[in-house]
Amino acid sequence: MVEGCELMGTTLWIVDINVDELWETPEIKQAADYLCKGEVIAFPTETVYGLGANATDSQAVKKIFEAKGRPSDNPLIVHIADPKQMKELVDEVTPVGQQLIEAFCPGPISLIFKKKEGVFSELVTAGLDTVAIRIPEHPVAFALLRAAGVPVAAPSANRSGKPSPTSAEHVMDDLNGFIKGVIDGGETGYGLESTVVDCTGEVPVILRPGSITADAIKEVVGEVIVDPALKDEKEAPRAPGMKYRHYAPDHPLYLVDGTSELLQSFVNQFKRDGKRIGVITTRENQAKIDADAIIVMGSQADLSSIAHSLYDSLRKSDVLDVDILLSLCFPEEGVGQAIMNRLRKAAGNRVLTQADLAK
Ligand code: TXA
Ligand code: MG
């Protein structure tokens, strides 16, 4: 008998991630069985929750796009349990790819290779001749992939245009009634999606920044290129998904490039125009801000704590009774690059500086 409560057709399985041999528990076995039968299942990874389907089954993969409302020209990442499966899926594991696998897999990184023809549903790769492969390290993701035994295509388990989910609750808020089930393994750790790296050439190219940083990659392979589109809006991004304006909160978000005093000056300026202001800020800056609503997101001293709670904070901001949201910029070093990449998208690139303050 499998314990799980069913709401409007979506089963929620709550699992204890500390159990040994999780892949043999009835909850994981049932979820894996649904995956193999062509259903879509949401599951936790160490980055964000994913919405998985058998990557070799077009009918199943189609359900991912339908549930998310995702554009079909945006390819999906394929998840596997073991690097040994790689050779059945890709044409060639390049030398840089091999180095990155050895250094970071399993972990929060997706590696792009030339795909083997005839393995994946065409919907997974959106017509490209490459495929992104990820080996997650989360015990639930690993158990599910091991129990299912098939490569699993999984984008983040949010409705398109919402922040990626970092808890089962976020997934239920977006997709309850639209998918077969959700495995609840608690909050995800890193909180931002994996670093996406093109490994088809001699030098790896970062297409999406994540918790595995450019410096960490450089340390392993000696050289790394960051897709110029990540810095310059006029460049066309090489990861199709990066062109969409994801992660948009319901209230317009403005980033402030400066101190918390400058941010407070903008709060005051907007208030003079009759606006209600919400501020997303760190524990250290909380006491320095006077606004209509404040959401506290991690500690300034630990950028990974900000990455961990960024999406939850953006989701919380949607229910605030405010007109405008403000947040300070973060230093663009280490995981700060990924944080600022997501924040800039959420803000539609609106960044205020001292020069924008009315005299
Ligand atoms: O952490 C993650 O990566 C999560 C978890 C669930 O694994 N997944 C995730 O998937 O963030 P998604 O679909 O939200 O983002 C996939 C990104 C998109 O920007 C997509 O365009 C890019 O990876 N991508 C996938 N396959 C690609 C390919 N063959 N070439 C270039 N970009 C690719
Ligand atoms: Mg996504």
Tokens standing for 203?
Answer: 């030098």
What's the CA-to-centroid distance between 357 and ligand 2, angstroms? 34
What's the CA-to-centroid distance between 145 and ligand 2, angstroms? 20
CA distance linking residue 250 with residue 229, whole number of Å: 26
Residue 189, ligand 1, Cβ within 6 A: no
- Is 47 marked as a binding-site residue? yes
The residue to mutate among 135, 193, 245, 247, having the most atoms of ligand 1 within 8 angstroms of its beta carbon, is 193
Residue 115, ligand 1, Cβ within 6 A: no
Range list of β-strands (E), the chain? 5-7, 10-14, 41-43, 50-54, 77-79, 109-114, 130-134, 152-153, 181-184, 195-198, 205-208, 225-226, 253-256, 277-281, 293-296, 324-328, 351-352
* Closest residue CA from atom 33 of ligand 1: 239
pLDDT in tens, 71-111: 888 899 999 999 999 999 999 999 999 999 999 999 999 99
Residue 135, ligand 1, Cβ within 6 A: no
- Is 154 marked as a binding-site residue? yes
CA distance linking residue 32 with residue 150, whole number of Å: 9
Positive or negative, the CA dihedral 21, 6, 157, 123 is: positive
Give Cα separations from 295 to 153, 165, 253 (angstroms). Answer: 34, 18, 13
Q: What is the pLDDT of residue 4?
A: 52
Q: Please state the pTM of the whole predicted model.
A: 0.95
106 CB-near residues (< 8 Å, 6+ apart): 135, 136, 137, 142
- 201 torsion bin: left (phi>0), alpha (psi -120 to 50), beta (else): beta
- Is 208 marked as a binding-site residue? yes
- Is 79 marked as a binding-site residue? yes
Question: 3-state DSSP call for residue 110?
Answer: strand
Q: What is the pLDDT of residue 7?
A: 46
Q: Which ligand is nearest to the CA of 74?
A: 1
* Closest residue CA from atom 31 of ligand 1: 239
For the chain, what are the domain ranges? Answer: 3-196, 253-356
CA distance linking residue 144 with residue 39, whole number of Å: 14
Q: What is the pLDDT of residue 248?
A: 78
CA distance linking residue 282 with residue 15, whole number of Å: 31
Q: What is the pLDDT of residue 239?
A: 79
Q: Which ligand is nearest to the CA of 174?
A: 2
Number of helices (H), then strands (E), belonging to the chain: the values are 11, 17
Residue 204, ligand 1, Cβ within 6 A: no
Please name the CATH architecture into which domain 253-356 falls.
Answer: 3-Layer(aba) Sandwich (3.40)
* CB atoms closer than 10 angstroms to residue 71: 13
Residue 212, ligand 1, Cβ within 6 A: no
Q: 225-228 long-range CB contacts below 8 Å, 24 or more apart?
A: none
Which option is the CATH number for 3-196: 3.40.50.10260, 3.90.870.10, 2.120.10.30, 3.40.50.300? 3.90.870.10
Q: What is the pLDDT of residue 244?
A: 63
pLDDT in tens, 111-170: 999 999 999 999 999 999 999 999 999 999 999 999 999 999 999 999 988 999 999 999
- In the chain, which stretches have pLDDT less than 70? 1-8, 243-246, 359
What's the CA-to-centroid distance between 108 and ligand 2, angstroms? 14
Domains 3-196 and 253-356 equal at CATH topology level: no
Say if residues 330 and 340 touch (Cβ distance below 8 Å): yes
Nearest to 152 by CA among 62, 50, 72, 59: 50
